[in-house]
A and B are shown apart, each in its own frame.
Chain A
Amino acid sequence: MIVQGLIFYMLAAIMVASAFMVVTSRNPVHSVLWLILAFVNSAGLFLLLGAEFVAMLVVVVYVGAVAVLFLFVVMMLDINYLKVREGFLTYLPMGAALGVVLLCEIAVLAGGWTMAPEAMGLRAVPAPEPGTISNSQALGQVIYTDYVYLFQAAGLVLLVAMIGSIMLTHRSHPNVRRQKVADQIARRKERTLKLNKVPTGKGIS
């Protein structure tokens, strides 16, 4: 248990520190790199909980896809970083004070934390016993049964995101000529090419 605890605090500390660096580092590319570090640490936390499947998902989706996408966007958009940070100092005292207040309150909360006695019994699906059933199998058993409602709703949310991004960015340009692969493949010599025998000296009329 001690080892687990130590690892937990290490991962958590690195995660908080890198999250802090995300907002404070001067170079946006560095920010994204710090973000990746935070993601990796959260994957580690999931591993610690015995949720291997989610841990792998975090690595694949967040680190592999989302963060890399961020990196592309940050590199492609030329953001004037100094301008973004304008007013940082003006708001710093106020923001810091607010942060401290919230932190104190959360500390008070954590200090006096109690759980309802029924809480443990009410937990819907505890993590499966390692060895009896694999993580993905356990998920598969509930996602399409107990949680089909939420699963489908999540699908709709993603659909909305897709429709939204297409609707807001996609523009059809009627004058731009596009490569139509099917047309190119379907092209036959006979339809486009005509061989004419030109008699010498007569020209084409």
Chain B
Amino acid sequence: MMSQSLVMGPALPEILLAVLALAMLMLGVFRKGDTTALVGWIAVAGFAVAGVMTLMGSGHDTELAFGGQFINDGFARFTKVLVLLGTIMTTIMALSWMKREGEGRFEFPVLIILATVGMMMMISANSLMSLYMGLELQSLALYVIAAFQRDNLRSTEAGLKYFVLGSLASGLLLYGMSLVYGFAGTVSFDGLAEIANAGEVSTGVLVGIIFMVAGMAFKVSAVPFHMWTPDVYEGAPTPVTAFFATAPKIAALALFCRVMMGPFEAYAPQWQQVIVLISILSMVLGAFAAINQTNIKRMMAYSSIGHVGYALIGIAVGTTAGIQGVLIYLAIYLFMNVGAFTIILAMRQKGRAVENINDLAGLSKTNPLMAAAMTIFMFSMAGVPPLAGFYGKFFIFMSAMDAGLITLGVIGVLSSVVSAFYYIRLIKVMYFDDVVEPLDRLSGATQKAMLAISFVVILLFFLVPAPVVDGALAAAESLTGGTSALASSH
């Protein structure tokens, strides 16, 4: 018992990052002068090392650590690498932003590291308790980061709103967990799965699951728990928004997948309808509400709500193909968002940051490359083939059709048609409107590199989709055990 609970090999990347966070905190406190850049770059290196360690970590085996509270399987490795990639890219963005704005604070990278540890713990959670600890670690760090510009009213308001609503969501989650525990007498995912497979059902545990779904839906900002998203996205400093839109969202969706497909897989026929409902609401709201937005960060918030709706289709389907679709979607979504936010960060007029959609007017004339890149990202988000975004939707919709969730797939396709509208409007603004005030040119090699990477990935994904598609399949199989939970329940 004792030796088993002290197995910590599989959690080495997390341990490394946690220790790194402490060390960086010390470095920041005791070193004179502004240490943000130093701490930041060391953090980036740490993420890279953790990523490599995750990848190298013992092939395709499933390993448990800490007495079964921590699991490291193919699914965890895949999503952790995505999360770390997102964190690396957005941290680099944030560093160059802080340098330009002169707002550097060394706590920022430290908090990012701790948030990332939290995300990795969420992904690897194998019991309700470790799930909750990971989630809280991540959330608490994010609340603080959202309010990071403490002298900016909008930023502090964003942080406060996120905090209060997040606490409410945590409460819902905990209440749900307590119901589940009350039914099953265990918090371990394996134990829960065992009980579920034994065919025991009670309304209590199902309502508990619904409460848990509500709590997790808040974290992925799915309707009707999405209300914080537009305000926080708009209020938080732009690099923070970029971070929010990528890594935590991936981690939360991964957690969602794990919880629904792990302990509660056997209850799929019961919870499926709830996920379907949330998914439909998210897709529809994401498509319609974005249309009226004038602020590009707000628009991206609604766009992310819509994207979450599509990803949830994959969970609702509940098959290996569905989970694979979610993972592919997340991988592509990561690069689209990094690309789009690099451009949003680069939206500056005479050194002053702007964030209205109309400020992009005539970008094709003043900065054709930037406009071309943004066009690719927007078309990709709209799901226009052959760009990467099309694949994400394609696999998701295919899995839905395959599982007989035809109505869900049809609504998905319809709402993606509607959402194409506002993405194309952005392109129209860039290409056909007259320049009011030109944007400044891109500055900094890191920014250009980030743009180039995401541009190439999105544009040329269709040539070599295999690494992502196959990787996602292997990851999904490791989660679902290669079986289809719901061949066709309809």
A/B: CB atoms within 8 Å of each other? yes
Q: Which residues of A pack against B, CB within 8 Å? A: 105, 108-109, 112-124, 145-146, 148-150, 152-154, 156-157, 159-161, 163-164, 166-169
Complex: chain B residue closest to A115, CB-CB: B183
Is B1 part of the binding interface, using a Cβ–Cβ cutoff of 8 Å? yes
Give the residues in chain A near B234, CB-CB below 8 Å: none
A159, B204: Cβ atoms closer than 8 Å: no
The 8 A-B pairs of least Cβ separation, nearest first, read A119-B185, A164-B144, A149-B66, A153-B133, A122-B186, A114-B202, A167-B107, A116-B200
Is B268 part of the binding interface, using a Cβ–Cβ cutoff of 8 Å? no
Q: Known A109-B204, A149-B70, A160-B141; judge A119-B134 contact (CB<8 A).
A: no
A157, B140: Cβ atoms closer than 8 Å: yes
B111, A114: Cβ atoms closer than 8 Å: no
B5, A160: Cβ atoms closer than 8 Å: no
A154, B204: Cβ atoms closer than 8 Å: no
Is B182 part of the binding interface, using a Cβ–Cβ cutoff of 8 Å? yes
Is B191 part of the binding interface, using a Cβ–Cβ cutoff of 8 Å? yes
Among B191, B194, B207, contact of A109 (Cβ-Cβ < 8 Å): B207
Is B411 part of the binding interface, using a Cβ–Cβ cutoff of 8 Å? no
Among B121, B159, B204, contact of A153 (Cβ-Cβ < 8 Å): B121
Label chain B's interface by main secondary structure: helix
Q: Known A119-B186, A148-B5; judge A113-B204 contact (CB<8 A).
A: yes
Q: In the complex, A122→B150 CA distance in Å? A: 47
Give the residues in chain B near A121, CB-CB below 8 Å: 185
How many Å from the CB of B184 to the closest CB on chain A? 5
Q: In the complex, A124→B184 CA distance in Å? A: 11
How many Å from the CB of A105 to the closest CB on chain B? 7
Q: Known A114-B183, A148-B66; judge A160-B137 contact (CB<8 A).
A: yes
Q: Using a Cβ cutoff of 8 Å, how many contacts connect chains A and B?
A: 122
User: Number of B residues contacting the other chain (C-beta, 8 Å)?
Assistant: 52
Label chain A's interface by main secondary structure: helix
Among A145, A153, A163, contact of B5 (Cβ-Cβ < 8 Å): A145
Among B21, B70, B148, B198, contact of A116 (Cβ-Cβ < 8 Å): B198
Give the residues in chain A near B292, CB-CB below 8 Å: none
How many Å from the CB of B55 to the closest CB on chain A? 23
Complex: chain A residue closest to B143, CB-CB: A164
Is B18 part of the binding interface, using a Cβ–Cβ cutoff of 8 Å? yes
Q: In the complex, A159→B118 CA distance in Å? A: 12
Q: Known A114-B202, A150-B133, A156-B18; judge A145-B2 contact (CB<8 A).
A: yes
Which positions 115-143 of chain B face chain A at CB distance < 8 Å? 117-118, 121, 129-130, 133-134, 136-137, 140-141, 143
B137, A157: Cβ atoms closer than 8 Å: yes
B111, A164: Cβ atoms closer than 8 Å: yes
